[in-house]
């Protein structure tokens, strides 16, 4: 559970400085071609890369592409912008398999299957490197890039992965999750009240003694975090401060919180921090009305040993 929660709370930490580009209004609408893959998508033999890629399509309805025609790549992208990219080099199938496995086991597994299936971009292009501009510039290289036509480019697929540190993998995880969450934030109407309930200071300071929970239930960081209405941040615990997430990051934190938090923990937080409860209930309603998904069912699928009861988010 500790590992899962760590993944949940880092998910949008890097939604800054061009990590992803926004999609268009139709980015999350179904497309007719999904019934029949428009690409050659063999099932492959057991244990093969093809089988691994097919499993992504079979489970989530998305196509993982790593050896594709440049024309197809550009024509499915936003016609207003052409991005510079370098394809995966030949002889890197093992690295492709490693990245696909990472997405399946580390990124997507952190959410209910139905959620990923609905909001994951439909085409995932694996590339060696990519810029968020039309020409190459080292300072414009990014880990991930979202298109407006169901597309997501994931870069660094190749020998560079061999030198990845934990923070590199965390950044990759964040970029992929950002692609999923940005579709929701940029194409749906999030209730204004959700944002109006909190104050987005640049940083919040906390001290283990001065800001200690008077009831001794939460550590100082979480006590200050929850008191101010947040459930995620860019935290610098050793320095005693955190930077609260805003906009899509903040929404993403609450979506993750609602889907992955056991009932006992959610009850405990709601009992002490009414502002978190208010914001959570607003997003639960948003999930039903805008996202057309049941937050209780999603949480039940992810926390079967401590599920929420039907009607948990009904207004009291």
Kindly report, residue by residue over 131-162, the tens digit of the pLDDT: 988 889 999 999 998 866 568 999 999 999 99
Residue 20 above 70 pLDDT? no
Residue 310 lies in a domain: no
**Structure pTM?**
0.74
Which of 4-8, 68-72, 206-210 has the largest mean confidence? 206-210
* Residues 219 and 70 placed together within one structural domain of the fold: no
Instruction: Work out the pLDDT band at 34, boundaries 50, 70, 90.
Output: very low
* Residues 142 and 14 placed together within one structural domain of the fold: yes
Distance from the Cα of residue 59 to its chain's centroid: 17
* Residues 204 and 143 placed together within one structural domain of the fold: no
Residue 22 above 90 pLDDT? no
- Give me the mean pLDDT over the 284-299 stretch: 94
Question: Pick the residue with more confidence: 285 or 4?
Answer: 285
Q: Identify the domain containing residue 141 by its residue range.
A: 2-187
Q: In the prediction, which pLDDT does 11 show?
A: 41
The total of structural domains in the chain comes to 2
* Residues 124 and 9 placed together within one structural domain of the fold: yes
Residue 312 lies in a domain: no
Residue 205 lies in a domain: yes
Residue 288 lies in a domain: yes
* Residues 44 and 114 placed together within one structural domain of the fold: yes
Sheet strands side by side (includes 233-236) = 204-205, 241-244, 233-236
CA distance 43 to 49: 9
* Residues 148 and 234 placed together within one structural domain of the fold: no
Domain end call among 122, 155, 187: 187
- Cα dihedral angle (273, 278, 279, 280), rounded to 10 degrees? 90
* Residues 16 and 158 placed together within one structural domain of the fold: yes
Residue 314 lies in a domain: no
DSSP string, 201-257: -S-EE--TTTT--TTSSS-HHHHHHHHTT-S-EEEEGGGTEEEE--HHHHHHHHHHH
* Residues 287 and 179 placed together within one structural domain of the fold: no
Which of 2-11, 14-23, 109-118, 178-187 has the largest mean confidence? 109-118
> How many CB atoms are closer than 10 A to CB 136?
13
Residue 289 above 50 pLDDT? yes
Q: In the prediction, which pLDDT does 72 show?
A: 64
Containing H/E element for 301?
helix 295-302
Tens-place pLDDT, residues 276-287: 999 999 999 999
Contact 146, 179 (CB under 8 A): yes
* Residues 219 and 254 placed together within one structural domain of the fold: yes
* Residues 132 and 239 placed together within one structural domain of the fold: no
Q: In the prediction, which pLDDT does 81 show?
A: 63
Q: In the prediction, which pLDDT does 151 show?
A: 84
Domain end call among 138, 170, 187: 187
Q: In the prediction, which pLDDT does 19 show?
A: 38
Residue 18 above 90 pLDDT? no
* Residues 142 and 210 placed together within one structural domain of the fold: no
Q: In the prediction, which pLDDT does 24 show?
A: 33
* Residues 136 and 175 placed together within one structural domain of the fold: yes
Contact 119, 182 (CB under 8 A): no
Q: In the prediction, which pLDDT does 180 show?
A: 83
pLDDT averaged over every residue in the chain: 84
Residue 31 above 80 pLDDT? no
Question: Pick the residue with more confidence: 304 or 22?
Answer: 304
Q: In the prediction, which pLDDT does 17 show?
A: 35
Residue 218 lies in a domain: yes
Domain end call among 187, 206, 238: 187
* β-sheet bridge partners, residue 151: 123
CB-neighbour burial class of residue 308 (10 A; exposed 0-12, middle 13-18, buried 19+): buried
Q: In the prediction, which pLDDT does 272 show?
A: 97
Q: In the prediction, which pLDDT does 15 show?
A: 36
Residue 309 lies in a domain: no
- Give me the mean pLDDT over the 100-111 stretch: 94
CB-neighbour burial class of residue 255 (10 A; exposed 0-12, middle 13-18, buried 19+): buried
Residue 313 lies in a domain: no
Tens-place pLDDT, residues 162-213: 999 998 998 899 889 888 887 788 889 999 999 999 999 999 999 999 999 9
């Amino acid at each position: 559970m500790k590992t899962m929660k760590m993944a949940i709370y880092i998910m949008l930490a890097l939604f800054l400085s061009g990590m992803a580009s926004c999609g268009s209004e139709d980015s999350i609408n179904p497309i007719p071609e999904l019934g029949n893959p428009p690409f050659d998508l063999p099932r492959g033999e057991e244990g093969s890369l093809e089988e691994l890629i097919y499993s992504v399509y079979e489970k989530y309805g998305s196509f993982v592409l790593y050896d594709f025609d440049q024309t197809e790549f550009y024509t499915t992208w936003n016609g207003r912008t052409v991005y510079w990219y370098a394809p995966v080099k030949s002889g890197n199938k093992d690295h492709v398999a490693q990245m696909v496995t990472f997405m399946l086991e580390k990124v997507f597994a952190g959410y209910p299957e139905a959620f990923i299936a609905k909001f994951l971009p439909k085409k995932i292009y694996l590339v060696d490197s990519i810029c968020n501009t039309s020409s190459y510039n080292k300072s414009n290289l990014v880990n991930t890039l979202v298109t407006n036509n169901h597309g997501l480019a994931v870069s660094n697929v190749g020998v560079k992965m061999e030198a990845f540190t934990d923070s590199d993998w965390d950044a990759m995880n964040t970029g992929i999750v950002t692609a999923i969450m940005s579709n929701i934030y940029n194409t749906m109407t999030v209730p204004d009240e959700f944002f109006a309930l909190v104050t987005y200071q640049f940083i919040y300071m906390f001290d283990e003694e001065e800001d200690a929970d008077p009831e001794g239930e939460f550590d100082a960081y979480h006590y200050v975090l929850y008191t101010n209405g947040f459930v995620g941040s860019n935290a610098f615990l050793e320095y005693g401060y955190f930077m609260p997430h805003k906009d899509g990051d903040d929404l993403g934190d609450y979506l993750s919180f609602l889907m992955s938090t056991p009932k006992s923990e959610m009850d405990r937080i709601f009992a002490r921090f009414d502002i978190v409860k208010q914001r959570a209930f607003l997003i639960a309603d948003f999930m039903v009305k805008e996202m057309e998904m049941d937050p209780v069912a999603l949480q039940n699928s992810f926390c079967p040993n401590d599920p929420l009861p039907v009607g948990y988010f009904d207004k009291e």
